[in-house]
Amino acid sequence: MMWFNYAQAQSFMPTEGTKIASQVDNLYGFLLAASFISCVIVIGGMIFFVWKYRRRTETDKTAYITHNTFLEFLWSFIPLVIFLAVFAWGWNIYHDMRTMPKDALEVQVTGKQWAWEFEYKSGVKTGNLLVVPVNKDVKLIMTSKDVLHSFYIPSFRIKQDVIPGMYTSLWFNADKLGEFHVFCAEFCGTQHSGMLATVKVVTQAEYEAWLIEESQVGMLPLAQRGQKLFQAKACASCHSVADASAKVGPSLWQKFGTKELTEEGEFAIDENFVRESILSPNAKTTKGFPKGVMPTFQGQLNETELSALIEYIKTLK
Ligand SMILES: [Cu+2]
C-alpha cells in the first residue's frame, strides 16, 4: 500500500536507503492519513452538530436520546479493526528489523565521546566512516567506551542505543548507492551534536578494493597516514589546510615552524606544541578562539598516529 511517494518528496522524509525504510514510511504515511481523516470526521462532526442542534428559542429543550446501538457498535468496531491492523503491520516490520540475518557482513562499532569507530573482521579500522557493499546484509555489533550513545541512520530508519559494558546490534541491507548520515541520538555531552558519521554504500568490487587499500595504510609514509587520520578524525571540519581561512578552529596551513600567539603567550609551533594541542587542546588556545570547543584526543591516538598527524601538518605549505 503506497499512500505517499516519499521517494519523490525528499524534503519531507530522508531518502529511503533500504527496503525496511520504505516499509516504515508506508506505515507512517498510513498513520498520518488515518489521523488526518479521523481528525476531520471528529472535529468536523463536532462543528456540524454544534451548528445543527444550536438553541433556537428561549424554551428550546434538548431531545431525550438514550443511545443508538448500531452507531455505538460502528464507532467502536471500525477503530478497533484499524488499530489491530496497525499493530500487526508495525509488529511485522519491527520483527524484520530486530531479526538479525545469518551470514551478514559483521562490523564492530564503538561509540565514544564524540566519534564513531568501525572495525572490520580484517582489522581495518575507520573513524566516522562506514563503507558497506550494496544489497548485502550488514550487522553492526556495537558498544560504547564511555557513556550511552545511540546509533541512528535516518535514511535506513534504524536506531539503537549503544551502551558501555554490553553489546547491542543493528542490521540493514542498503539497496541504494551513495552516502548517508549517521547521527548520535542520545545526548552524550557537549559535542553530542557533532558526533556524526557517514555510511558509504558502494558496489561489491569497490568495497573489496577499498578494504585492500585500507589494510595497506600501515605501509604508507607517515605524512600520508597522517592525512588519512586527519580525514578519519574529521579534523578538517574545524581546521582548514589549504589556505589561511579560520573555521571553528585556526587554520593549520603554513603553520608548522612559525610562532603562535595564544591566550597563554607566544609559542613556537613545533612537534611538542602540536602534540599538546591534540591531546590537551585547552592548555594553550590561539588568540581569538574560545576555550573548550575542541575535544581532547587523549587515549584515541597512539604514538605512531600522533607522529603521523604531526608529519602531515608539516607538509601543509
Ligand atoms: Cu553520542
Complete domains list, the chain, with CATH: 19-98 (1.10.287.90), 105-215 (2.60.40.420), 221-314 (1.10.760.10)
**Distance in Å, CA 131 to ligand 1 centroid:** 20
**Distance in Å, CA 160 to ligand 1 centroid:** 12
**Distance in Å, CA 127 to ligand 1 centroid:** 14
- The answer, yes or no, to whether residue 53 has pLDDT greater than 50, is yes
**Distance in Å, CA 159 to ligand 1 centroid:** 12
- CA–CA dist 220, 226 (Å, integer): 10
CB 138 within 8 A of CB 173: yes
- The C-alpha angle 138, 142, 214, rounded to 5 degrees, equals 60
pLDDT of residue 138: 96
Question: Of 3 and 264, which is predicted with more confidence?
Answer: 264
**Distance in Å, CA 102 to ligand 1 centroid:** 28
What pTM value is reported for the model? 0.70
Q: Which residues have CB less than 5 Å away from ligand 1 (the ion)?
A: 149, 184, 188, 195
**Distance in Å, CA 112 to ligand 1 centroid:** 7
Question: Of 58 and 156, which is predicted with more confidence?
Answer: 156
**Distance in Å, CA 192 to ligand 1 centroid:** 5
* Residue 28: band (very low, low, confident or very high) from pLDDT cuts 50, 70, 90: very high
Which of helix, strand or coil describes residue 230?
A: helix
**Distance in Å, CA 213 to ligand 1 centroid:** 29
Please compute the mean of the pLDDT values over residues 239-260 and round it to a whole number: 89
**Distance in Å, CA 86 to ligand 1 centroid:** 32
**Distance in Å, CA 295 to ligand 1 centroid:** 13
**Distance in Å, CA 184 to ligand 1 centroid:** 5
**Distance in Å, CA 108 to ligand 1 centroid:** 16
- CA–CA dist 309, 285 (Å, integer): 19
* Residue 6: band (very low, low, confident or very high) from pLDDT cuts 50, 70, 90: very low
- The answer, yes or no, to whether residue 106 has pLDDT greater than 60, is yes
- The answer, yes or no, to whether residue 3 has pLDDT greater than 80, is no
**Distance in Å, CA 238 to ligand 1 centroid:** 19
CB 294 within 8 A of CB 259: no
Which of helix, strand or coil describes residue 213?
A: helix
In this structure, the number of other CB atoms found within 10 A of the CB of residue 186 comes to 19
Largest pairwise CA distance in the chain: 97
- Joined together, the cell numbers standing for residue 211 give 578494504
**Distance in Å, CA 275 to ligand 1 centroid:** 25
Tell me the H-state helices in 179-221: 204-215
pLDDT of residue 2: 45
Give the burial class of 139: count Cβ atoms within 10 A of its Cβ; 0-12 exposed, 13-18 middle, 19 or more buried.
Answer: middle
Q: What is the mean pLDDT of the chain?
A: 89
- CA–CA dist 153, 162 (Å, integer): 13
Please compute the mean of the pLDDT values over residues 134-161 and round it to a whole number: 95
Give the burial class of 275: count Cβ atoms within 10 A of its Cβ; 0-12 exposed, 13-18 middle, 19 or more buried.
Answer: middle
Pairing relationship of beta strands 115-120 and 125-127 according to DSSP bridges: antiparallel
pLDDT of residue 83: 94
* Residue 180: band (very low, low, confident or very high) from pLDDT cuts 50, 70, 90: very high
**Distance in Å, CA 122 to ligand 1 centroid:** 26
pLDDT of residue 124: 86
**Distance in Å, CA 183 to ligand 1 centroid:** 8
Please compute the mean of the pLDDT values over residues 269-291 and round it to a whole number: 91
pLDDT of residue 64: 87
Please compute the mean of the pLDDT values over residues 14-27 and round it to a whole number: 91
The amino acid at residue 174 is: A
**Distance in Å, CA 186 to ligand 1 centroid:** 6
In this structure, the number of other CB atoms found within 10 A of the CB of residue 293 comes to 14
**Distance in Å, CA 177 to ligand 1 centroid:** 26
Which of helix, strand or coil describes residue 257?
A: coil
pLDDT of residue 217: 78
